[in-house]
């Protein structure tokens, strides 16, 4: 089932692995309890949220250290692994060698996947069951038209606002109001007894 493609790289860093947080946890549909691994990205969804992260252009399979004479795979067909097992993958990382901050694909067949991590002093092979299923075709969901408004905000500061405000209403819902341009983004939440309002400014570039 796997088909090697010498020009592709199957190395994944912590950002690629972090998509596992957004996979479904209900156990009903294995394909959305999983992380999609492809030569150019990883992705996960719970049916409401979706996160896709492209692979780093700095990681090249031929530069990953050989472990016991075994090299990292350079390519294969896309595959699915349960998100819980992905969350357990921890790149070891040697500070003086950035390539070791990646998780490499060591082996893939119809039933299992093997990931390789190393800090040059020690190495670990992690086995995971390969899920037999088709990941949702999410490309069709992304809007194809040009956006009406485009701006950047500080993601960490937005996350802090949303965390506090989402704890006020029992539903956890926060209303988002965008006024366009470089005007502030307004956030509102309400539990019938208390109200919260927040603002965050777009980043001026």
pLDDT digits (tens, 9 = 90+) for 140-197: 999 999 998 888 999 999 999 999 999 999 999 999 999 988 899 999 999 999 999 9
Task: Find out whether 99 and 109 touch, Cβ atoms under 8 Å.
Answer: no
Q: Rounded CA gap, 165 and 176, in Å? A: 11
In this prediction, residues 83-92 reach a mean pLDDT of 92
pTM check: above 0.95? no
Position 3 pLDDT exceeds 70: no
pLDDT digits (tens, 9 = 90+) for 34-68: 999 999 999 999 999 999 999 999 888 888 988 77
The shares of helix, strand and coil residues in the chain, as percent rounded to the nearest 5, are 20, 30, 50
* Domains along the sequence of the chain with CATH: 11-140 (3.10.150.10), 155-200 (no CATH)
Indicate the pLDDT class of residue 7, thresholds 50, 70 and 90.
Answer: very low
């Amino acid at each position: 089932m796997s088909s090697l493609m010498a020009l592709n790289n199957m190395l994944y860093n912590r950002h690629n692995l972090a998509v596992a947080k957004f996979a479904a946890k209900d156990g009903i549909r294995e394909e959305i309890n999983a992380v999609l691994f492809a030569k150019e990205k990883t992705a996960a969804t719970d049916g409401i949220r979706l996160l896709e992260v492209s692979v780093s252009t700095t990681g090249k399979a031929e530069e990953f250290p050989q472990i016991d004479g075994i090299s990292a795979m350079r390519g294969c067909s896309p595959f699915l692994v349960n998100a819980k097992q992905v969350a357990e993958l921890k790149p070891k990382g040697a500070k003086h060698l950035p390539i070791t901050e990646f998780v490499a694909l060591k082996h893939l067949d119809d039933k299992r996947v093997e990931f390789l991590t190393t800090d040059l002093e020690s190495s670990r092979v992690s086995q995971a069951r390969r899920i037999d299923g088709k990941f949702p075709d999410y490309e069709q969901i992304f809007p194809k038209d040009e956006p009406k408004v485009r701006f950047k905000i500080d993601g960490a500061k937005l996350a802090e606002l949303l965390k506090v405000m989402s704890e006020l209403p029992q539903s956890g819902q926060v209303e988002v109001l965008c006024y366009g341009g470089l005007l502030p983004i307004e956030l509102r939440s309400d539990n019938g007894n208390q109200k919260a309002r927040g603002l965050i400014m777009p980043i001026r570039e």
